Amino acid sequence: MLRFAWAGRTSTDDQQDPTLSLPRQLRASQLVLPEDALIVVNFYDVESGRKDLDARGRGTAHEQFDIPIPRDGGIQDLLAEAERADRRFDFVICESIDRISRRTYIGTDIEHRLERAGIRLLAADEPFTLAAQGTGRKAKVATQLLTRRVKQGIAEFYVLEMLEKSWDGFAVHTEEGFNVGKPCYGFQARHVPHPVPAKRAKGQKKTFLEPNPAEAPVVKRIFQWRLEERLGYQPIADRLNLDLTTNPPPTPNTPSRAVGLWTYSNVRDILTNPKYTGHMVWNRRARKSGGNRRNPVSEWIWSPEPVHEVLVDLDTFIQTQDVSGHRFGSRTAAGPNTKHPQTKRSYLFRTYLFCDLCGRRMGGKTRKRVYYACSPKKAYVPAGHPAAGGVFIREDHLLEKVNAFLSDHVFGDYRRQLLDANLRHLDATVAQEREQQVAGLRRAIADTDVKIKRTIRNFELVDDPDEDFVRDINERRAELRAQREQLEVQLAEVEQRILAAPNPGLLDALPVMKIEVDQLPEELARALFEALRLEIRYNRDTNTATCRVTLTGPTITAASRTAKDAAVISLDDARRRRQQRKQKNTEQDRHPSGDGPVPILVVPPAGFEPATHVLGTIPVT
């Protein structure tokens, strides 16, 4: 009796019915067996045939079905038993070679491993002969091998071709504005009849997106907090959880997994989803071939134009992505890092202080005094950069100068006068030139409209226009329309530059006050730094710290609000804390620590970019 093992596989558990496919495969294999052969064990899986071999045969999808075939294992169990001396079979048979694998390399690898164990792999749809026992002759396999290799090549080609066509279909589907899958948070499905009559008759529909009245405002708030206050994912989630009625949490695809609260990942998914810009976007993740990894932005498929209502404009979306780069490696929340067991205190300027020599963020340390150090790993120290710990600055020295900078240049009475006079004059000149460009372009567009109307009126002057006359009129009208489109593009570009131009008047939105950030609660101080877009760069070679504050239209409201919150701190409390700090510094001065020299805070003038940068110079006294 010849003992056979049967190998079966169905590709997916949602497109095929394993309760029908697997019995059919088994029956096809049984029909071609010789009379003295019997299938004694059954190995099958419900999985994709394009997986790598080490990932095959490890799933549990078969447990979801009542398959009327006893299962002795999957492909991994088949290969493991084939190499044992007490194996229960001498041959392996399948319905077709593509049931072993859809990839030629994997299929031949499995075939080779079975051959090394002395087991022949057969397929029911291939011609094969078995050597008569006791004759000493080998079975003929040449024709079978040729047929198999051809079938393997065709099978792999078929799969790749179908995947490519399917991918192209999804791309066109996206470009036309149709959504794939469940609508993201903030939107709801707007169903339209399917364009294919047969599918429309079955009730199938296609889906556009439209704002969800309860969720769309939440999305706008999340982007606003991220842009204006540069909050991290978890602080945004914590703020949303304070009012779940106004901010209903998302519901996952599997409702049983819902936690009823906002989480870090919920906020991250919203802030990184470009569909809120009005464009339909697909292929952001490799869900099947890449384990749900994020694809490069260059591989995303976008609709050419917005296809549904815009919840967040594209510029705002891009700016919120930049916040992640600023926040990378630094917590949002105030206070010590509770996740680090050795952390005993927090550092006021973490996140905002950078080494000017290498661009890395400087970290806080405490050695009798509080200071910040640039400590790159040995393998990442740039040329000319001191070794780890060679760049450091004391917090108290930096604090005094930052307080002076903010009090004079940002919240002082003469902050506008501290801006460079020549720079202000240059900005005024550029603004005047741009206004003149806008006026000129608008006049040109109006003149072009008049010319188009005159061209059309020429028809009224001719009783019987010939073909040449009509052709000339149409060509002239097309030229004028193309000219008008070019002028409109130029006008849009100039208007955009005007909107993005610096506006020193933003300073006037901030209150006038004297501020000492060390007297503020740390949470409020960090909120103020975020709203002002504070950035400090320390240069060890020159012993200077360059401080920059950036004010923009979208962030000025948050900056003004936070500054006013800081201004209401009790003066008595400020005096008390200042007196305590003075006593402490007096005691420390009696025991000098030998730390480095006091840095000079230098804030050189710089040109205005699409924001107002507040800069100045504060010497050390």
Residue 429 has pLDDT above 50, yes or no: yes
Residue count of the chain, please give it.
621
Burial 62-92 (b: 16+ CB within 10 A, else e): beeeebebebbbbbbebbebbeeeebebbbb
Q: For residues 82 and 598, which has the higher predicted lDDT (pLDDT)?
A: 82
Pairing of strands 544-551, 600-601: parallel
Q: What is the mean pLDDT of residues 334-352?
A: 77
Q: What SS3 state is found at 282?
A: strand
| Burial of 318 (C-beta count, 10 Å sphere; 0-12/13-18/19+) | exposed
- Contact indicator for 371, 540 with CB cutoff of 8 Å: no
Give the pLDDT score at 193: 92
Checking if the pLDDT of 50 tops 70, the result is yes
The residue among 263 and 460 whose pLDDT is bigger is 263
Which of 166-175, 516-525, 583-592, 602-611 has the weakest average pLDDT? 602-611
pLDDT for the residue 591: 47
Residue 348 has pLDDT above 50, yes or no: yes
Q: Which parts of 458-570 fold into alpha helices (H)?
A: 467-500, 522-532, 553-567
Q: Distance (Å, rounded) from C-alpha 160 to C-alpha 102?
A: 10
286 against 581, higher pLDDT: 286
* 564 close to 540: Cβ distance less than 8 angstroms: no
In this prediction, residue 596 carries a pLDDT of: 43
pLDDT at 601: 45
What pLDDT shows up at residue 184?
A: 94
Task: Of 205, 268, 258, 196, give the one whose Cα is nearest residue 231.
Answer: 268
3-state secondary structure 123-154: ECCCCCCCCCCCCCCCCCCHHHHHHHHHHHHH
- Residues 464-521 pLDDT 10s: 777 877 788 888 888 888 988 888 888 888 777 766 666 677 788 888 888 888 888 8
Q: What's 187-327's CATH class?
A: alpha beta
Is residue 529 exposed (0-12), middle (13-18) or buried (19+ Cβ within 10 Å)? buried
pLDDT of residue 68: 93
What confidence category does residue 582 fall into, taking pLDDT thresholds of 50, 70 and 90?
low
Using one digit for the tens of pLDDT, what is the confidence trace for 268-288?
Answer: 999 999 999 999 999 988 876
Highest mean pLDDT among 199-203, 264-268, 541-545: 264-268
617 contact partners, CB below 8 Å, separation of at least 6:
601, 602, 603, 604
- Note the pLDDT tens digit of each residue in 206-240: 999 999 999 999 999 999 999 888 888 989 999 99
Mean pLDDT value of segment 300-327: 87
pLDDT of residue 515: 87
Helix (H) or strand (E) holding 23: helix 18-31
Q: How many CB atoms lie within 10 A of CB 208?
A: 17
Name beta bridge partners: 205: 193
Q: What average pLDDT does the structure give for the chain?
A: 83
**Topology (CATH) of 2-163:** Rossmann fold (3.40.50)
Mean of pLDDT values over 44-57: 91
Query: What's the average model confidence in pLDDT over 607-613?
Result: 42
Q: Could you give the 3-state DSSP secondary structure of residue 287?
A: coil
Tally Cβ neighbours within 10 Å of residue 562.
Answer: 23
Q: In terms of Cα–Cα distance, which of 316, 329, 404, 396 is closest to 359?
A: 329
3-state secondary structure of 484: helix
Q: Is the pLDDT of residue 313 over 50?
A: yes
Q: In terms of pLDDT, which residue wins out, 445 or 495?
A: 445
**Taking a C-beta distance cutoff of 8 angstroms, is the pair 614, 509 a contact?**
no
State percent of the chain over pLDDT 90: 34
Residue 93: helix, strand or coil by DSSP? strand
C-alpha distance across the termini of the chain, in Å: 102
pLDDT of residue 208: 95
Among 275, 274, 282, 280, smallest CA distance to 299 is for 282
Longest dimension (CA), the chain: 109
Specify whether the CB–CB gap between 69 and 22 falls below 8 A: yes
Q: What is the average per-residue pLDDT within 132-145? A: 71
Token readout for 91 is: 């041959």
Instruction: Provide the whole-model pTM.
Output: 0.66
Bigger pLDDT: 609 or 142? 142
Residue 192's Cβ-side half-sphere holds a number of Cα atoms within 13 Å equal to: 10
Q: What is the DSSP letter of 329?
A: T
Distance CA 507, CA 512 (A): 10
Highest mean pLDDT among 6-10, 56-60, 437-441, 538-542: 6-10
The stretch 446-452 carries a mean pLDDT of 88
pLDDT in tens, 350-359: 888 998 888 8
pLDDT at residue number 527? 87
Q: What is the tens place of the pLDDT at every residue in 371-381?
A: 899 888 877 88
Q: By mean pLDDT, which of 296-310, 488-502, 606-620 is the weakest?
A: 606-620
- Tell me what pLDDT residue 85 has: 92
Residue 499 is predicted with a pLDDT of 61
Say which residue, 354 or 323, is predicted with more confidence. Answer: 354
Strand 293-294 to 285-286 pairing: antiparallel
Supply the pLDDT for residue 552.
Answer: 78
Is the pLDDT reported for residue 322 higher than 60? Answer: yes
